[in-house]
Amino acid sequence: MQNKGFISTIAVLLILICGFYISFSFVTSHYEKKAEEYAASRAKTNDVTNDSYKKYLKQFNDSLDREKVYFIWTYNQVRQMEIGMGLDLKGGMNVVLQISVPDILRQYAAGDNQLNQLNKAIADAEKKGAQPDEPDFINKVAAEIQPGHMAGMFTKEGEYLGELKSNSSNAQVAEALKKQVDGQVDAAFNIFRTRIDQFGVVAPNIQKLQGKNGQILLELPGVKEPERVTDLLKSSANLEFYEVYLGNEVASNLAALEQAWNAEADSAHKVNFAELGINVRQGSPVIAIVEPNKKEIVDSIFNSPLAQQKMQQDFSAVWEVKPFEMPVYDEKTGQPRVKSNGQPVTTPVWQLIALKGEPKLEGDVVTGATSEYDKMRGGSVVNMTMNDRGAQEWATVTKNNIGRPVAIVLDNAVYSYPNVNDEITGGRSEITGNFTPEEANDLANVLKSGKMSAKVEVVSNNVIGPSLGAEAVTQGFLSFVVAIFLLMIFMILIYGVIPGLVANVGLILNLYFTLGILASFQAVLTLSGIAGIVLALGMAVDANVLIFERIREELKAGKKLRQAISEGYSNAFSAIFDSNLTSVITGVILLVFGSGPIKGFATTLIIGLVCSFFTAVFLTRIAMDLITKNGRNAKMSFDTPVSRNFLTHTKYNFLGRAKVASVVWLTLIVISIASLAIRGMNQGIDFSGGRNYVVQFEKPVNTAEMQSRLAKFFQDKANDPTVSVGVISIDTQDKARISTNYKIDENNVDDEVTALLYEALQPELTNAQGKVMDKEAFAIADESHGIISIQKVGPSVADDMKRDAYWAVGIAIVCMFLYILLRFRNIAFSVGAVSAVALTAFLIIGFYSVCWGFFPFSMEIDQSFIAAVLTIIGYQINDTVVVFDRVREMMKLYPLEDRKITINKALNTTLSRTFMTSLSTLLVLLCIFFLGGDSIRSFTFAMIFGVIVGTFCSLFCAAPVAYSILRKGKMKADAKAVANAGNKLQGNRRFK
């Protein structure tokens, strides 16, 4: 093998790099265990939902956040670099928020008449299919406005969109509006981030969704009160400008407060204000600089009745939005302490600001804010503009506070308190203060958020209780371990001890590399991600099967072991490369068009396939060369008594049975079409919109009776017979999933639906003693009984998912067609492969249409189902490419042989590989199906059916279709050759 040294070096480097990244997960796990022990000892309970337990857990984590715990990395950095667990494994809340783009546009309308014109344009655009969450929405609205008239709708004496002129084109106005929308979405993003931080969520994930206008995704692990979080997120931003008290103005009041506090407190609760950090500074509104673990004490002091008595009547104390890093001084020398790298040693502290009276201005007067670089003075500055009313009030405020700070407060947190140098008129202000570009941009976004009156809607919501998450971890891990164990036994049983062990070491390295690469991306591992890894391992076996089968063929042809190994790897390379690449293409399409769990599945599948190619093709080859060096293991045969005669020397006439197969396929197609027309498909809420509740009962329940009763209950409440309710058992008879589309088009009704569900489920919620479950316990998604998971998908999100699914399947099939055409240079192979793929996909859909309602698990058409179909498309192409690769090879070896004989021979020689691959993949899928939990059972069932049908479609559809086209092409070529020969003969005859 060439480049053995280079491959070995790459492998060693990968092992070290992956080990480095995986190590962060072990370090995090170590400190998380210590944090749990600390919280349990202080709170005197192990209940993770206990408020006291959570407080001490957060306290421990905060105390370590900036401490170095692993070489040069702080605990916060270590946590960011671990392989995190997704919400489906640890419990929590996943929310997609939609900021109303039409509401933002309405803010900039110049007057009532213009607002009416804008509303009409928005309504007309929406009638034509425009969706507010699509990036091109503003352009579609602009298209409904007469050219040249849009500028007048959004300009009012230069206010709001001041860069525009009355003669600006519609396109220019649309572009300016897009910038305003982007700015407000950025502002909202920062507001949500700050609110979540203040809520105390550990390691949240907040991101703007790409390709979605105004949508923000929040993943919040461990949330106990999802309703409270939702209300907090949907509330309007509250930007205010306050006057402040300076330190010297409150010094005597603070002294009186300290004296009064200690006079009333017992000896255990007496305090020294200076030691706490409460200490005034001349000319500054900062009245306390406090360490994080002392904030709670300081809050209790300033929120007490004594503070109301001793401080000024209009005094209030508000924390800055985030801590700042204060230098640490050496106790002996009084000099700042310095790290070994020369950087100062710092500690996080919080500043408390003294506000005066009511806000002097509200944020709705701010019309714009930008961060810019000041070339004259250097550094970043923030420019803020106000409307006419705000400009007048701002002039008064600044005139009365020359030489004093004015505090900028958002959501009861101080973001900045710049000094006023002079009276500011005209409504334009410049804020300076040694800002970094990031700080200036954040402050500009805060100021812009002051006019964020746009409606915020929850378009998708998924709540998973910790108990369900813990169950998912157990199920995912169990399916994972059992699948790997069975794969290893399978390889040894079929190919012998030494080849089997080599393949198994390749599998272990594949898993190790996959986890290491995931860790390097700071990826989050979900249950669907685990399924992706397991499936990638199952498909990785295919590469080893291809290689070992080719080696067996070479050995049977009489070649020596090392030559057989060399040619086996060489001959299998093209098939392995093609099959892996087609599967990666499918994974990329899933990554682009999928969301949530589908992206997790696609990510791990792609990484696993790339790693499997490297380990199977290169690393196992190096291992084989070492094992057989100098004549060692010369009798290794790559078979066992179990597999030695399995499907060898078969001479089945596949193409001769093509007509029979066609009748079977046609019958199945007719049945599927009839079922789709009569029964339709059982669409999940991903595609139809609705709510899913997973409810744990204290006793077994009758789901059929419950469904009938709930359907009538919700239909009566809505006075609408089209309201649907579905109930299915999950895993056990005492756990059920309840789905309904009741009031899915309405906002702010989540609590109402939950209350109605509680009312309707009274018979099931009554235990043997006649006691009914408490309403609050029922609604909290972290109890052992009651609701343990909630999922909501709005109609707009459902439409988006459905559209993306159609695109994903269509693009996958086109990509497969083009790739095979490129690789095989013959349209016959492309048409044959795509025909088999389309047939398999359609039969899976038809099978689900026929069978839903008859199986004890959900058979819904949702994102997971589409992911299964796309994965089967990749798998199907994988299988077909291997057969076609052998056909191409034999056509080169036997160019004059009848194509029917050649294709039949290729199908027979690859038959053992086809069934070995299917068996190994089915082995993995069956493990996931039985052990992986209900959340991915429907997905794996579709995969199982797809693998079985796909295998037969490769043999009895792809090959016959390709043969039919090849035969017609050959007949045309032969006819043309005969015609040319005749013409040449005629051309040699002459009259004399």
Q: Is 816 helix (H, G, I), strand (E, B) or coil?
A: helix
* 120-136: average pLDDT: 88
Question: Confidence band (pLDDT; 50, 70, 90) for 77?
Answer: confident
Least confident of 462-466, 758-762, 879-883, 983-987: 983-987
pLDDT value of position 165: 72
Domain 496-630+656-677+799-974 has CATH 1.20.1640.10: yes
- Collect all residues with Cβ–Cβ distance below 8 Å to 699 and sequence separation of at least 6: 734, 764, 767, 768
Distances from the Cα of 673 to the Cα of 540, 846, 858, 865, 942, angstroms? 35, 7, 21, 19, 18
User: Highest mean pLDDT range out of 92-106, 710-724, 825-839, 873-887?
Assistant: 825-839
Contact 832, 954 (CB under 8 A): no
* Closest alpha carbon to 323 in 65, 70, 73: 65
> What does the pLDDT read at residue 237?
66
Q: Output the pLDDT for position 160.
A: 47
DSSP state of 330: P
Summarised one tens digit per residue, pLDDT across range 29-49 is 899 899 889 889 988 888 766
Helix (H) or strand (E) holding 324: strand 324-327
pLDDT digit string (tens) for 273-322?
Answer: 999 999 988 889 999 999 888 888 999 999 999 999 999 999 999 999 88
Q: What is the pLDDT of residue 310?
A: 94
pLDDT bracket for residue 404 (50, 70, 90): very high
- Top-level CATH class of 690-793? alpha beta
pLDDT at residue 990 tops 70: no
Please state the rounded mean pLDDT for residues 573-583: 83
Which tokens belong to 264? 């009333």
Scan for tokens 């860790």, then name that residue. Answer: 519
pLDDT > 90? residue 961 = yes
For the residues 637-645, what does the mean pLDDT come to? 84
CB-based contact 295:350 (threshold 8 Å): yes
Tell me: pLDDT of 982 over 70.
no
Q: β-strand 524-525 against 84-85: which pairing, if any?
A: parallel
Least confident residue range of 381-395, 550-564, 863-877:
863-877
725 three-class SS: strand
What is the Cα–Cα distance from 529 to 539, expressed in whole angstroms?
15
What residue spans in the chain does CATH classification 1.20.1640.10 cover? Answer: 496-630+656-677+799-974
Every domain of the chain with CATH number 3.30.70 lies at 690-793
Strand spans (E) along 77-134: 84-85, 92-99
**Digit-coded pLDDT (tens) for 720-757:** 887 878 887 776 778 888 888 888 777 667 778 888 88
Distance CA 872, CA 439 (A): 49
**From the centroid of its chain, how far is CA 100?**
22
Give the model's pLDDT for residue 980.
63
Report how far Cα 601 is from the mean position of its chain's Cα atoms. 10
CA angle 722, 724, 730 (to 5 degrees): 170
C-alpha atoms less than 13 angstroms from C-alpha of 606 in its C-beta half-sphere: 16
Specify the pLDDT at position 158.
46
Is the pLDDT score of 417 beyond 80? yes
Span 778-815, pLDDT tens digits:
876 655 678 877 777 766 666 776 777 778 778 888 88
What are the structure tokens assigned to 239, written together?
């930007």
Dist CA 548 CA 934 (whole Å)? 36
* Mean per-residue pLDDT of the chain: 83
- pLDDT of 159 > 80? The answer is no
Looking at residues 819-845, what average pLDDT do you find? 89
Q: According to the model, what pLDDT value does residue 991 have? A: 44
- pLDDT at residue 253 above 60? yes
HSE of 671, CA atoms in CB hemisphere, 13 A: 15
